[in-house]
Amino acid sequence: MNPEASREHAEDRLALLLGGELPAGERDAVERHLAGCAPCRTARRELAELRESLAALAPPPVDWSAYRADLGRRLARGGPGTARHWSWWQVPLPAALAAGLVAALLYAGSEPPLPRVSGVDPAALDAVALASRLDLISRFDLVERLDMLEDFDVIDRLDREAPNGKS
Amino acid sequence: MDGLELSDEQLCQRVAARVPGAFDALVERYQARAYRIAWSVLRDREDARDCSQEAFLKLHDGAGSFAGQARFSTWFYRILVNCCLDHKRRGRGWLKLVRPAHEGRDGEGAAGALEQLAGPAEDPADRLEAEGRLARVWAAVGDLSPQQRAVVMLQCREGLATGEIAAILDLSEATVRVHLHRALGTLRKRLGSAT
């Protein structure tokens, strides 16, 4: 058996071995492997130490009577989802920040206002502003060719070439 | 009512029936574990207090939906861990910005993790070394994803079996084993033999 592969195989089961969750057959097989594999024994020792350290992590102490009293108040206020521990000034702050951000984004995304010119139709100004952004303008040669279709001579010739025009 | 003589499941049924004292008895029985698990996942004492209380409130409101097919502890831990993971997803980073530093932030300094470490009679040098070791472990745990952290702490800290962890997190047992293997591998790599 490839020693590297067998080591990976055993490492995969070490957490379960240390947690006492390996079935007897598998446990025996892993123990046999460990007896002949120094790296896996090191891994087991390190994992065991790590588990001890994790088990030693303890949260900060709590005043349980105050905890239950607070829970009772929350229950009386209406159950899950009720606001807690937030001072009056803590709630408006993120709301104000969010509103400011939205306003800034709206302002940044808005069009610059068109200059007001007395006596000029605002709709015409809109059209000019719109046209200034049309990519089609940059392909003026194509627009010219399309315009030719509206030339009366061409239309007239098309009419003559239509089946009804042949008499 | 003497809640100590009743099983968790019986107490839960009484909570659903709004029997006086049943809810208080369940809270007293589970408050320390609920707070500890929430703290393991959230790494902040105020958030842990908040989320564990939230889980109790959901237990109070939803006790009638406990069908008794799983153990009460599995059902309740599922509520609890979901509260914690939802809390993480919602993100309350801004609260940490406005909350004064002394008000329960223990994510990086490991102060909370060390508070109960040793009694005053211990050798100061040993205590210092142990504190340093736990601070490194606590910092490394902080680099895990919330779900990996939950798996590791539920297995190594709370001693739950992978099957129960799978039920709590609504994952397959295989996925829990993968999370556990990867998380412990990451911690080992970070900590080496320093633990």
B98 and A75 within 8 Å at the Cβ level: the answer is no
Contact between B49 and A67 using a beta-carbon 8 Å cutoff: yes
* Predicted confidence band of residue A127 (pLDDT cuts 50, 70, 90): low
Mutant choice from B57, B133, B187 vs A, greatest count of A C-beta within 10 A: B57
Give mean pLDDT, residues A114-137.
62
This model of the complex carries an ipTM of 0.79
| DSSP 8-state symbol, B3 | G
**Dihedral angle, C-alpha B81, B55, B89, B146, nearest 10 °:** -20
Per-residue pLDDT at A145 exceeds 50:
yes
Contacts 24+ apart (CB under 8 A), B131-136: B133/A53, B133/B194, B133/B195, B134/A53, B134/A56, B134/A57, B134/B110, B135/B109, B135/B110, B136/B190, B136/B191, B136/B194, B136/B195
Query: Over the stretch B80-127, which tens digit does the pLDDT of each residue have?
Result: 999 999 998 876 545 554 444 444 444 444 455 544 444 445 677 777
Cβ atoms B149, B40 nearer than 8 A: yes
Nearest 5°: the CA angle B94, B98, B103 is 115
Could you give the CA distance from residue B169 to residue B88 in angstroms, rounded to a whole number? 15
Q: Does B146 touch chain A (CB under 8 A)?
A: no
**CB–CB of B38/B80 below 8 Å?**
yes
- pLDDT digit string, tens, across residues A21-51: 899 988 999 999 999 899 899 989 999 999 9
CB contact under 8 A, A67 and B152: no
Q: How far apart are the C-alpha atoms of B110 and B99, rounded to whole Å?
A: 18
